[in-house]
Amino acid sequence: MQINVQAGDIARIDRPCIIINLFEGVGSPGGATGAVDRALEGAITSLIGAGDIRGKWGEFTLVHTFGKIPAPRVLVAGLGKSGEFTVDRVRELSANIARYLRGRRITAAGTIVHGAGIAGLEVERCAQAIAEGALLGAYRFNRHKRPEADEAELDALTIVEHDHAKLNAVERAVERGVILAEATNFARDLSNEPGNMLTPTELAGRAEAMAREVGLDVEIHDRAWAEQQGMGSFLGVARGSAQPPKFIILRYRGAGDATPVALVGKGITFDTGGISIKPAQGMEEMKGDMSGGGAVIAAMGAIARLKPKINVTALVPATENMPGGNATKPGDVLRAMSGKTIEVVNTDAEGRLILADALCLAVREGMTPIVDVATLTGAMSVALGDVAYGVFSNSEALVARINDAAREAGEKCWQMPMFPEYKDLNKSNVADVKNSGGRNAGSIAAAFFLKEFVDDRPWAHLDIAGVDFYDKDKGVLVKGASGTPVRTLVNLVLDLAERPL
């Protein structure tokens, strides 16, 4: 979808459909909606009076103009109560509108900046949210399906700003929104791709291609390199698969020799559970067990395009977790890059094993702070469902910054406890630590396992299990991979560039 900004009067825009809005309880519309109503000789006011348009949240009314204005259709979008209208709702509304127009095979539209000024919201933030929402809401993963005969996409959206003085600021905001949404959709593409098509080698190839396009430094390492680094924990997971593992490193250099921030992502391109094999039901979704790695890779692309003055390094260990004849067995002991030994009591707790060596590498290279992202535990879904992801950290200051970044993105997260008593869950009788503390406090035990490898530097772990895949469209979330938390990561890096931790 192409999104552009144009100064002018929405009533004069020649598009197959123009979009205006109405708050609940408004009997006589003003602003741009009022201008369109007057051009339509009071048709919208008449529909309000008849009760056909009420302005309720989620209400869409398509009005035909019969040649009274250049656009043949007007979509009146209900905004709900003005006191409840937020930037998040702008984003959600834009996503819902994009799907609504696509369902009616409307390929181009013009829109006003919904709610800006009227609800006390900044025009730039609303414009960015419209761009984000439209691209996120219109996303579909159809590359392996034949198109339907009458299928159409919303290919072009024009955002109309009546104030010429604000045009440049709105254009910059829209550009940022497009970058963030395109990065999220790139992460969705990676997570939605079937496991036979997105192997560790293919994931590395796509990361490299993106890096070359946006100007990131890229290193793709193989099994021999990982052996040289002493990454026994990572390689222990890779042993059961016929697919060779890859260790992906992306570097953005925007601040000279400054210490880089580390973004670490779990890259399990398919997870059977290994010898501790998963139930068959729902296993097909385990193609998305690399969603953390995909989010980190995609975030780096957006960071490179936005060019903040900061250094960032992404580390993504990528492998399958398979029950092959050479696979790691329950009871085996692995040695991580730091020298710490790990008793593997459950081979389905593999994500933390590959992250351990990535965290060790981040520490060895002096990166700080460190943020890792992973679909790590089913227990996270039990705790927070599909609404929020969990944040675990040894730094309250870093948690506060992540909360701010997530709030700006409209992505929900929740800090989980890291009381020292939980550490005992990972005690092993035969190694320095075991890789699973059992069912109780499973997500917290997993976070404490990761904490063993960060050397007490500022670190946060985002457990995105539960928010990585959805079974239906809702606002900016679409059926399939969500792309969470790409926009949070980018916002966090932009914030750290302005205000170092």
209 and 325 in one domain?
yes
> Does any domain span residue 417?
yes
93 and 219 in one domain?
no
Predicted confidence at residue 148, as pLDDT, reads: 83
212 and 120 in one domain?
no
Instruction: Encode pLDDT of 166-222 as tens digits.
Output: 999 999 999 999 999 999 999 999 999 999 999 999 999 999 999 999 999 999 999
* 248 pLDDT above the threshold of 80: yes
Instruction: Encode pLDDT of 366-386 as tens digits.
Output: 999 999 999 999 999 999 999
123 and 201 in one domain?
no
197 and 106 in one domain?
no
Backbone torsion region of residue 32, taken as left when φ is above 0, otherwise alpha when ψ lies between -120 and 50, otherwise beta: alpha
Instruction: Encode pLDDT of 129-141 as tens digits.
Output: 999 999 999 999 9
For residue 45, give both structure tokens.
């006011």
Domain count of the fold of the chain: 2
Percent of the chain whose pLDDT exceeds 70 = 99
Instruction: Encode pLDDT of 24-63 as tens digits.
Output: 999 989 999 999 999 999 999 999 999 999 999 999 999 9
Please pick, among 38, 54, 68, 278, the residue that the annotation labels catalytic.
278
> Does any domain span residue 302?
yes
* 119 pLDDT above the threshold of 80: no
Name the domain boundary from 141, 172, 203: 172
120 and 48 in one domain?
yes
Predicted confidence at residue 151, as pLDDT, reads: 81
> Does any domain span residue 185?
no
For residue 66, give both structure tokens.
């019969």
Predicted confidence at residue 118, as pLDDT, reads: 60
Cα–Cα dist 422/221, whole Å: 35
> Does any domain span residue 184?
no
> Does any domain span residue 37?
yes
278 is catalytic: yes
Query: What counts of helices (H) and strands (E) characterise the chain?
Result: 14, 20
214 and 167 in one domain?
no
The domain containing residue 403 runs over which residues?
Answer: 193-498
287 is catalytic: no
**How many CB atoms lie under 10 A from the CB of residue 79?**
24
Looking up residue 78, the CATH number of its domain turns out to be 3.40.220.10
Instruction: Encode pLDDT of 451-501 as tens digits.
Output: 999 999 999 999 999 999 999 999 999 999 999 999 999 999 999 999 999
Average the pLDDT over 238-258 and give the result: 98
DSSP state letters, 213-225? HHT-EEEEE-HHH
Residue 460, burial from CB neighbour count under 10 angstroms (0-12, 13-18, 19+): buried
Where does the pLDDT of residue 164 fall: very low under 50, low under 70, confident under 90, or very high at 90 and above?
confident
> Does any domain span residue 376?
yes
> Does any domain span residue 178?
no
51 and 128 in one domain?
yes
Instruction: Encode pLDDT of 295-338 as tens digits.
Output: 999 999 999 999 999 999 999 999 999 999 999 999 999 999 99
249 and 131 in one domain?
no
242 and 138 in one domain?
no
Cα–Cα dist 177/171, whole Å: 10
Helix axes 486-498, 396-409, angle to 10 degrees: 120
- Mean pLDDT of all residues belonging to the chain: 96
Predicted confidence at residue 162, as pLDDT, reads: 86
29 and 116 in one domain?
yes
For residue 9, give both structure tokens.
């009067």
Where does the pLDDT of residue 117 fall: very low under 50, low under 70, confident under 90, or very high at 90 and above?
low
392 and 248 in one domain?
yes
Average the pLDDT over 82-89 and give the result: 93
DSSP state letters, 269-296? EEE--TTSPPPSTTGGGGGGTTHHHHHH
DSSP state letters, 85-136? --HHHHHHHHHHHHHHHHHTT--EEEEE-TTBTTTSB-HHHHHHHHHHHHHH
> Does any domain span residue 481?
yes
Cα–Cα dist 167/215, whole Å: 29
Give the count of alpha carbons within 13 A of 71, CB side only: 27
Looking up residue 434, the CATH number of its domain turns out to be 3.40.630.10
pTM summary value: 0.96
Please pick, among 352, 434, 451, 487, the residue that the annotation labels catalytic.
352
Cα–Cα dist 78/41, whole Å: 21
Predicted confidence at residue 222, as pLDDT, reads: 98
Name the domain boundary from 137, 172, 207: 172
Cα–Cα dist 308/320, whole Å: 34
Instruction: Encode pLDDT of 401-446 as tens digits.
Output: 999 999 999 999 999 999 999 999 999 999 999 999 999 999 999 9
For residue 85, give both structure tokens.
């209208």
* 11 pLDDT above the threshold of 90: yes
Predicted confidence at residue 374, as pLDDT, reads: 98
Predicted confidence at residue 114, as pLDDT, reads: 67
